[in-house]
Structure 1
Amino acid sequence: MESQDPAVAEAVKASGESNLEKATARAKETLDQLMNVSLNIAVTGKTGSGKSTFINEFRGLDEDEDGAARTGITETTMEVTMYEHPTMPNVKIWDLPGIGSPTFKANKYLKDVKFHTYDFFIIISSERFTENDVMLAKEIKKQKKNFYFVRSKIDNDIRAEERKKGFDEQNVLCKIRKDCLKNLEELGDPNIFLISSFDLEKYDFEKLQNILTEELPDHKRSALLQAWPVCSADSLEKKIKMFQGVIWAASLASAGIAVIPVPGLSAACDASMVILFFTKCYYAFGLDDRSLKRLSEKVNKPLLEHVAKSKFVSAVKEKALTRLQVSAALATLATVEYFASLLPGVGSAAAAGISFGTTYCLLKQGLNELADIARKIREEAELDTLCSN
């Protein structure tokens, strides 16, 4: 019996499976969750509560961009409207009319908005939560789904109060939170998240992310983390950790393919997998041109220097050329794997070990570079300094 490469054996063990074939199947399932799992988020609230602004900021779009949710003080949501995330099309945000609106009566609201479509509900208010909000939460709870109360436009409240003598921001936030809880006391002690859609780095936006990632099923968590805006240094590190956690899966899938004695098969699959992995990192870390442009305008600083120097960012931007370059770079590897796989006794083990090691190192190197760039950009933008102030 052929001996297995130690690195591959360790990855198989870490997968919880008994052999390479089963571990490879588990790895492919993990990758599929990273790349393709769907997530449907429902956002509801009355007219003027800030739903559309929240949706646009979550998706990284300005209100005047193509595909942005319409904003305004009049009723802009007269029907259920779905918005795809621009870089994560499997993540969909649904803008629901406020409960009790003329078109959507409270007593049949959940049926009319197709309740079972959504993974969880965000109930937004820019003022006090109402009886309709409480009723909706109760019905959602009956159906065993989660809901989250978001008190929006906190920046407006702070500006209104800071002109007063003895202003203390924490006291204002505490007062708002207590007022919200008073109106929701029928529900016990629900979590309430205070946010400003125009300043996601402040208040409770990251806390909302933390609660969601804790309460979502594992297979939905990766979709949320990829789509969620980078709102803090900790938020970025969560994304990095998630991608670090799936490198083994991509490498193990590569190892499983390498044992098949078909010339070039492993290299072609590796090239495609590597490019897709880096593309996911690129958008999740906010390294794309649109995200950097918005951030640069927000902090009034140019932030493109490190990105321009990155070979991995260039690789993502020039997908067609890079696919050829990666394939060419792996062509020699493919030949080595092919002949190794034909050797009696140790062939497939050697091929799997070569493919696993090469893919693992390449993904780790690229992820580290992209993560470091994202950290440097955040540091130069002084976002975390602003947050601490």
Structure 2
Amino acid sequence: MATQDCAVSKAANKKETSGQFLNVSLDIAVTGKTGSGKSSFVNLIRDLSDDADGAAPTGVTETTLKRTLYKHPTMPNVKIWDLPGIGTPNFKANKYLESVKFKTYDFFIILNSERFTENDIMLAKEIRKQKKCFYFVRSKIDIDISSEQRRPGFNEQDVLDKIRKYCVRNLNELGYAEVFLISSVDLGKYDFEKLQNTLTEDLPDYKRSALLQAWPVCSAATLEKKIKLFEVLTWAASLASAGITVVPVPGTSVACDTTIAFLFLLRCYYAFGLDDRSLKRLSEKVNKPLLEHRAKSKFANAIQKKEVTTIRVCASVVIMSTVADLLSLFPGVGSAFAAGFSFASTQCLLKEGLKELADTARVIRKEAGLDTI
């Protein structure tokens, strides 16, 4: 009995480990002066509207009086920290990094809705000394464009170039400094996708995975990057399944394969924007009903209704997992065959589910008029 308990404990540990490859922690710091749009940017990364439950409070007055943690609504391991602006009464410039617990964060977003100030430059220099990354983001571009549209001879690209050059000129003492122009109203415009690409290139692989899963789907290219990421991760999930099968406890393979598959596909479901909140928000934006397209996916329906057992949609997968359980009872060769069966069955299920969810997300974007192909 004690041996079996130990085996079950090992299986449970394998299950826990199998979930960790999708749950790397990532801490993002967002800072800027009062009124720069920090809170709206925090909400944008979390794919929340400013009036949604759990959204960071926004306003024209100073709403961030202390560093505030906002977890991503579908990936709690990704944390966005709304930091008070440098140079505010409670956060003096010379003590700022110490006050906001600098070592907590993987990188900094320095936000401003006008020009970047001496305090912004000083903060960037200190971050650079500590060998961490920072990114200058110029917010509220939509407001600038709207204002300039009333002028004769308006040209949007000329306005964007003028704003970018003005911001970069203020940062020349840092050497080369790239500035990303964004609008919290429309994440599909300006440099939001470019910012995402830059962040993913700069982060180590395991952090890159966390960022890409959490980042809102702002374009067809972003969706395809997410799909490719999960195609790679099917191997990690399948290997985790094979590792569990080696533990000779009947029923372990079937139960764990199903759990691994459900957790993996649940992450795809949220990353592709197929959840109720994301689809309703998109429907309101484009003024089209979109939930009906999700209903055509058996995997999306099972996840939406939290029907874990429905994920075992292929009888062949269940049979293969059962065979794997039986083979694992035989030492040596049996365990090796069991691991192979479990790997193949889990990968088959994950690939099928991933393809269906990805195709569903593509169709929804096309129906929303966001992608023409």
Return the TM-score normalized by structure 1. 0.88
Where 1:121 maps in the other structure, the secondary structure is strand
1:1-389 maps to which residues of 2 (within 5 A)?
Answer: 32-34=20-22, 36-319=23-306, 321-323=307-309, 326=312, 332-342=319-329, 346-384=333-371
Q: In the alignment, what sits opposite 1:19?
A: none
Which letter does structure 1 place at the counterpart of 2:178? N
Gap change, CA 1:288 and 1:62, over 3 Å in 2: same
| Distance 1:154-1:137 versus aligned 2 partners, 3 A rule | same
Once superposed, what is the RMSD of the aligned Cα atoms? Answer: 2.2
Deviation of the 1:26 alpha carbon? 12
Whether the 8 Å CA contact 1:267–1:327 is kept in 2: the answer is no
Kindly provide the amino acid, as one letter, of the partner of residue 338 in structure 2.
A
SS in 2 for 1:294: helix
Give the C-alpha shift of residue 180 in structure 1.
0.3
In structure 2, what is the Cα distance between the partners aligned to 1:322 and 1:282? 14
In 2, are the aligned partners of 1:193 and 1:208 still within 8 Å (CA)?
Answer: yes
Aligned residues of 1:27 and 1:250 also touching (Cα < 8 A): no
Q: 1:305 to 1:55 in 2, by over 3 A?
A: same
Q: Deviations over 1:237-284 (max 9, x none)?
A: 111111000111111221222233221111111111000001100000
Q: Runs of 4 or more off by more than 6 Å in structure 1?
A: 25-30
Q: Which moved more, 1:163-172 or 1:194-203?
A: 163-172
Letter in 1 for 2:21: Q
Tell me the CA shift for residue 343 of structure 1. 5.5
Q: Which residue of 2 aligns with 1:9?
A: none
| Matched residue type, 1:189 | Y
Give the drift of 1:358.
Answer: 0.8
- Equivalent-residue separation in structure 1 for 2:240 and 2:188 (angstroms): 37
Q: Which sections of structure 1, spanning at least 5 residues, go unmatched? A: 1-24
In the aligned structure 2, how far is the partner of 1:338 from the partner of 1:69? 48
Greater shift in the superposed pair: 331-340 or 178-187? 331-340
CA distance in structure 1 between the aligned counterparts of 2:17 and 2:176, rounded to whole angstroms: 38
Listed as ranges, the gaps of 5+ residues in structure 2 are 1-12
The residue type equivalent to 1:191 in the other structure is: E
Displacement of 1:367 after TM fit?
0.2
Secondary structure, in 3 states, of the residue corresponding to 2:290? coil
CA contact 1:84–1:91 (8 Å) conserved in 2: yes
Identity %: 69
Q: Quick one: distance in 2 between partners of 1:155 and 1:338?
A: 58
Deviation for aligned residue 1:59: 1.1
Partner of 2:9: none
**8 Å contact kept, 1:158–1:172:** yes
Amino acid of the residue matched to residue 32 of structure 1? Q
| Structure of higher RCO (CA pairs closer than 8 Å, 6+ residues apart) | 1
Q: Which amino acid aligns with 2:261?
A: V
